[in-house]
Amino acid sequence: MTKLVISAIGPASSVQDGGRHGAQRYGLTPSGAMDRLALAAANVLVGNSPLAAVIEIGPFGAAFTARDGAVRVALAGASRNADISGGTVAFNTSMTIPDGETLTLGFARRGSFSYLAIEGGIAGEPMFGSLAVNARAGLGSPYPRPLQAGDELQTPAASGGPERRLELPAPTDAPIRVLLGPQDDEFDDAAKQAFLDSEWRISATSDRMGYRLEGPAIKHLHGHNIVSDGTVDGSIQVPGNGAPIVLMPDRGTSGGYPKIATVISADLGRFAQTAAGTPFRFKAVSMAEAQAEFRKSAELLRTLPDRLRPIENFDLNIEALQDANVAGAAVSAVDAGTWSP
């Protein structure tokens, strides 16, 4: 059978999909892709269902080799230098890795997580309807842990279908929108203003469980201990030291710190792609606006296949050139020594 061999990969890289839902009442968190739009984009490019399992690649480099046949894949999410045996390839396109050749990826340039979808999906045993890795709970398939060099994913042979590109809306640097609550009454107006008016940066100690924020300390009105209650992706909890933590898909299902606000669903992926150290701001919106944005995102996800375009050589070259020009310091993905943070 054809397979994709992980020749090299950095930390924080794992198989992810739309997540496993329905068992949060037992303490099992959904996990799933940090950036759902990028997950869906990569899948749609190779004809998979939008929330099928893909390889989520953390900020560091990676290399993938096709064995016993060609493998058709697509890249989306955080852009990077990418080439197949030296020939530059572009993000938001499908591509075929010939048998024995290697797709090599550099560091993430804009964003943190890239998504590599494999035509036909990843073969594995779903647990609670999902292949997504949740290392703490020992879940995920084919490997219940982050990917390591030497891992192999079974794949169908490439269909030989025409390669395509996906036209996505232009990225934005607009503030990350939040709904206040559920425990915004644990903070006075000054604390809420400080939260909404300040510039924030994501700490380098962040991971798939939570993003720690660097900025002013947010003071509680009645102390930082509340009786644990349920969390969601995007819950912004404020522990005793006043430094907010935004909960991400591998979060605990309950938490005992007051939650000042919640990132709206439509902005979760964009927030997840905010690289450590990049300044950003929050903006409070109404429930009506948040749910209108939810509907817009769902509509975009649903209509992604309408945005597929045939690849003309001209398109590919322009994108490839742009990629190459922004490259700056290129780092070899197979040089494991450069991966230590």
Partner 1 sequence: MSATLPPPRLLPSGDSAITVEFSRNIDDAANQRVLALDRVIARQPIAGVTETVPTYRSLLVHYDPLRIGFDALSEQLVALAKLPVPPVTTARRWRIPVVYGGEHGIDLEDVARTLNITPDKIVARHVAGDYRVAMIGFTPGWSYLSGLDSQLHMPRRQNPRLLTPAGTISIGGVQTGVQCLAGPSGWHLLGRTPVRTYQLHREPTFLLEPGDAVTFSAVDAKTFADQNRAAEAGEIVAEMIAA
User: Is residue 46 at the binding interface for partner 1, with CB under 8 A as the rule?
Assistant: no
Residue 261 DSSP code: E
User: Is residue 240 at the binding interface for partner 1, with CB under 8 A as the rule?
Assistant: no
- Which window, 32-40, 174-182, 195-203, 314-322, contacts partner 1 (CB under 8 A)? 174-182
**Dist. CA 57–CA 70, nearest whole Å:** 21
Nearer to partner 1, 32 or 61 (CB): 32
Q: If residue 199 lies in a helix (H) or strand (E), which one and from where to where?
A: none
- Which window, 83-91, 92-100, 148-156, 264-272, contacts partner 1 (CB under 8 A)? 264-272
Retrieve residue 10's tokens.
């950095």
User: Is residue 31 at the binding interface for partner 1, with CB under 8 A as the rule?
Assistant: no
Answer for which of 11, 142, 182, 239 binds partner 1 (CB under 8 A) is 182
Nearer to partner 1, 27 or 328 (CB): 27
Measured from the CB of residue 132, what is the shortest distance to partner 1 in angstroms? 14
What's the residue count for the chain? Answer: 341
Phi, psi (degrees; rounded to nearest 5) at 295: -65, -40
Encoded amino acid at 103, one letter: L
Answer for which of 100, 129, 136, 296 binds partner 1 (CB under 8 A) is 136
Place of tokens 């439509």: 266
Q: Rounding to the nearest 10 degrees, give the CA dihedral for residues 141, 144, 149, 152.
A: -20
Place of tokens 């950036």: 35
**Dist. CA 131–CA 17, nearest whole Å:** 7
Nearer to partner 1, 233 or 319 (CB): 233
User: Is residue 253 at the binding interface for partner 1, with CB under 8 A as the rule?
Assistant: yes
295: β partners = none
User: Is residue 205 at the binding interface for partner 1, with CB under 8 A as the rule?
Assistant: no
User: Is residue 329 at the binding interface for partner 1, with CB under 8 A as the rule?
Assistant: no
User: Is residue 317 at the binding interface for partner 1, with CB under 8 A as the rule?
Assistant: no
User: Is residue 283 at the binding interface for partner 1, with CB under 8 A as the rule?
Assistant: no
Nearer to partner 1, 190 or 287 (CB): 287
Retrieve residue 276's tokens.
């450590």
Retrieve residue 45's tokens.
């490019």
Residues 21, 27, 30, CA angle at the centre, nearest 5°?
A: 30
Contacts with partner 1 by CB under 8 A lie at 21-28, 127, 136-139, 179, 181-183, 226-235, 252-255, 259, 262-266, 287, 290-291, 293-295, 298
